[in-house]
Amino acid sequence: METASHIQDLREKLERWNYEYYVQSAPTVSDFEFDQAMAELKRLEDAYPQYADPNSPTQRVGSDLSNDFRQIPHRWPMLSLGNTYSAEEVGDFYHRVERALNGEAFDIVAELKYDGTSISLTYEQGRLVRAVTRGDGEKGDDITANARTIRNIPMVLHGDFPADFEMRGEVLMPWKVFDELNAQREREEEPLFANPRNAASGSIKLQNSSQVAKRRLECYLYYMLGDELPADTHYACLQEARTYGFPISDAVRLCHSLQEVMDFIQYWDTARKQLPVATDGIVLKVNSLDQQRRLGFTAKSPRWAIAYKFQAERALTRLNSVSYQVGRTGAVTPVANLDPVLLSGTIVKRATLHNADIIEGLDLYIGDQVYVEKGGEIIPKITGVDLDARLLVGDKVRFIRTCPECGTPLVRAEGEAAWYCPNDTACPPQIKGRMIHFVSRKAMNIDGLGEETIDLLYSRGLASNVADLYDLTLPQLASLDRLGDKSGRRILRSLEKSREVPFERVLFALGIRYVGASVAKILARTLGSIEALASADRAGLTAIDEIGESIADSVTEYFAQAKHLELIARLKAYGLQFACEISDEPRTGPLSGKTIVISGVFARHSREEYKQMIERLGGRNAGSISAKTSFVLAGENMGPAKAEKALALGVPLMSEDEFLKNISS
């Protein structure tokens, strides 16, 4: 019993410290003391499994086990709110409530509308028993294991709480975490999340809760439901919930008039830009729970609440210069360098200009005051120029004609927007970019060879192409800054293991233009060997399903160059896989015979997971839309060119939810 008591004491202490750190932002112990207590609790729970508890603070790290989500009906429907976009519409809502209550006095609770993904938390006897997504409003996915990993969601309450009740709120990814995650995904050549909402939604639905824990999600709760609530007003319930340990925002105001509502909206339209998480509006709710019941609901939303949506966030700042980046394929991308400006919770100093056509269309001059938007975009972009502020500006911005890295004249293929540096043998960013691509997780997956290490190897003259990596020795690696003997051995082990990587991924790792992971898989499984691919002509390649003229031209051009054949010969000598069995078995499954293009950013699964899902179910992935495409699996931020092509060819678009519903049925 003494051990059980000590375990319980540790759990209560850690829960209190979690609350102080994540909810009150007022920690009372050092990180070291917290970690020591957590380690002791973990040791005791491992030694005495009879005292295991799913609500223990140690469970916040998440489990490695897969947890396919089961659907759970909502006790009370989770409806969406009606939206307004102007002060006049807010006034209309206020007066509708006034009329419906026959002039009876009422108050409005004004809150920030957090831009995340909705969650419902059920507590029984002060313990978290269930966490469910919004779903279709009537039922949602059980994500309890994942919710336990969110640090500021209390698993055990304190104070005088109801025996059985529900808290609703929003799961969010802070701007800082979002930017770090996208930077990591960019390094690993994963599709970037469009915004923190998508990132939070996708993270909370991951099948591995240990991965959810790494996403450092947060939660803000804003509504309490139950048969026996602690108060008869919404505002008082929120204040009580705060005493139980719930993360309730400080940005909640009890308004006694329409003017106070307007003052709240006006204040937060500016002040929200300083917040660490994304917001997209204000939520207004009638305070009295009795009045809420009397006002009731429409088919889709409550009559006692409404959401006011902010305009898309835009900032005005000075264009100081334009720099140019060279990618591994030689594509040159212009980047605007700006006076620092706060936008959507982060300081923006740079914005993409995409290509020469965009620059020409904006008619930019150095010193212009430019409008920058982030909103739902992945990377800030310039959307316009304040012509009234164009005084004493500098030179007109014109796209460069020579490579900024090696001085080679740029080329532009007919029908393409991008300019390229053709000097792929001596242009440093291209050389290093190809090596970074080669070692990336989806290609050869060589552990320890990140961007900085590749840069060191290149600058020291130890590697100038991917084959050189297999010549590296332990003394060479151990002598590099920040590496040493241990890291060097890890890299060599990973290089050795990469000899087992299948042909299709080796082909993708070579970095042939237009040969992405899906195209590489098609080519490898159709032709079976690098020799067959190297000897294939344009007609033979275009005869392969999904291989168009651009891909065929790029492949034949690649193998026509002696330097590439020499590189492949070296890699073959090192034991890399350059052959596989030809797959001619008919595909079976509910997607059999269907060719599917994936475009955009998704919340429920990654693009790679959807590609695997399609293949598992008998379908075929394609990289471009054609008359043979069965449908496009369309996520958010789908490219406008693909959308237009699909419309022109009559190819249907299918949303993520529609796709998952179809394959599950």
- How far CA 96 is from CA of 80, 92, 137, 410, 549, in Å, comes to 19, 6, 25, 63, 61
Task: Specify the DSSP element, H or E, that contains 339.
Answer: strand 331-343
Instruction: Identify the residue whose tokens are 């790679």.
Output: 608
Question: Catalytic annotation on 396?
Answer: no
Rg of the chain over all Cα atoms, to the nearest angstrom: 28
Q: What is the DSSP string of 445-457?
A: --TT--HHHHHHH
Q: Cα–Cα distance between 484 and 476 in angstroms, integer?
A: 10
The closest alpha carbon to 334, from 320, 318, 314, 353, belongs to 353
571 SS3 class? helix
**Under 8 Å CB-to-CB from 505, ≥6 apart: which residues?**
442, 443, 444, 517, 520
Specify which residues 128 forms β-bridges with.
Answer: 123
Catalytic residue among 113, 374, 432, 611: 113
E strand intervals along 539-604:
595-599
Q: Cα–Cα distance between 458 and 463 in angstroms, integer?
A: 5
Between helices 607-616 and 517-527, what is the axis angle to 10°?
Answer: 30
Q: Cα–Cα distance between 219 and 210 in angstroms, integer?
A: 18
In the sheet with 218-225, reading across from the earlier edge strand, the strands are: 127-133, 117-124, 164-172, 218-225
On whether the CB atoms of residues 154 and 246 are closer than 8 A, the answer is yes
Q: Cα–Cα distance between 441 and 494 in angstroms, integer?
A: 12
On whether the CB atoms of residues 245 and 18 are closer than 8 A, the answer is no
Q: Which residues are catalytic?
A: 113
